[in-house]
């Protein structure tokens, strides 16, 4: 019995992913968008405008969330603010001194423009990589790369998730 318990515990996340896919298929809906969920990922969804995807192989996660933006919000303004934090010593000290931007990508996802900033929080030799993506529309995405000893520079699986996002025609 203990062997079965250990095996179940060891494989609990892959089992959870398999069960999720059997129940829900290969995608999740978030506020009118459809995100493809790879077979080794599963989803926790508490509301129709929010879904947390978990990678059972690496422990990484991606949070897809949707909410209305302020009427004066623009990607250009947000991009300028984030980049200003990187170069302004006062803002950097107040906000992101240990979480520098290490990359920036602009994407076309589901017919909408996204700007993504790759960051690498570091403290005492431990790296916590993340990617923060915003769109002019309601959908935003955060990726959390887990704890690593080395900086992370490969976000290909995350950007593959982003490329899978579709906005079904109504």
Tens-digit pLDDT profile for residues 12-33: 889 999 999 999 999 999 999 9
2-164: in CATH 3.30.70:
no
User: Does residue 62 or residue 84 have the better pLDDT?
Assistant: 62
- The domain limits of the chain are 2-164
pLDDT digits (tens, 9 = 90+) for 64-113: 999 888 888 999 999 998 887 766 555 555 444 577 888 899 999 999 99
Please, is 45 exposed, middle or buried when counting C-beta atoms within 10 Å of its C-beta (0-12, 13-18, 19+)? middle
Q: What percent of the chain has pLDDT over 90?
A: 53
List for the chain the helix, strand, coil content (%; round to 5).
30, 40, 30
Q: What per-residue confidence (pLDDT) applies to 90?
A: 56
- Residue 25 has φ and ψ, to the nearest 5°, of 95, -145
The C-alpha atoms of residue 62 and residue 45 are separated, in whole angstroms, by: 12
Calculate the alpha carbon distances from 89 to 92, 93, 98, 100, 127 in Å.
Answer: 5, 6, 12, 12, 22
* DSSP letters spanning 14-67: HHHHHHHHHHH-SEEEETTEEEE--TTEEEEEEETTEEEEEETTT--EEEEEE-
Q: Residue 170 — pLDDT band, cuts 50, 70, 90?
A: low
């Amino acid at each position: 019995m203990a062997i079965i318990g250990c095996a179940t515990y060891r494989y609990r996340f892959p089992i959870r992913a398999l069960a999720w896919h059997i129940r829900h298929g290969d995608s999740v809906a978030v506020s009118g968008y459809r995100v493809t969920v790879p077979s080794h990922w599963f989803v926790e969804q508490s509301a129709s405008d929010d879904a947390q995807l978990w990678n059972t192989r690496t422990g990484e996660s991606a949070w897809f969330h949707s909410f209305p933006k302020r009427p004066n919000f623009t990607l250009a303004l947000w991009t300028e603010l984030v980049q200003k934090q990187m170069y302004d010593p006062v803002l950097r000290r107040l906000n992101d001194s240990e979480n520098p931007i290490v990359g920036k990508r602009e994407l076309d996802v589901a017919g909408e423009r996204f700007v993504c900033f790759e960051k690498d929080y570091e403290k005492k030799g431990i790296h916590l990589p993340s990617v923060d993506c915003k769109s002019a529309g309601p959908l935003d995405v955060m990726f959390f790369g887990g704890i690593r000893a080395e900086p992370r520079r490969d976000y290909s699986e995350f950007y593959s998730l982003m490329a899978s996002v579709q906005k079904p025609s109504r």
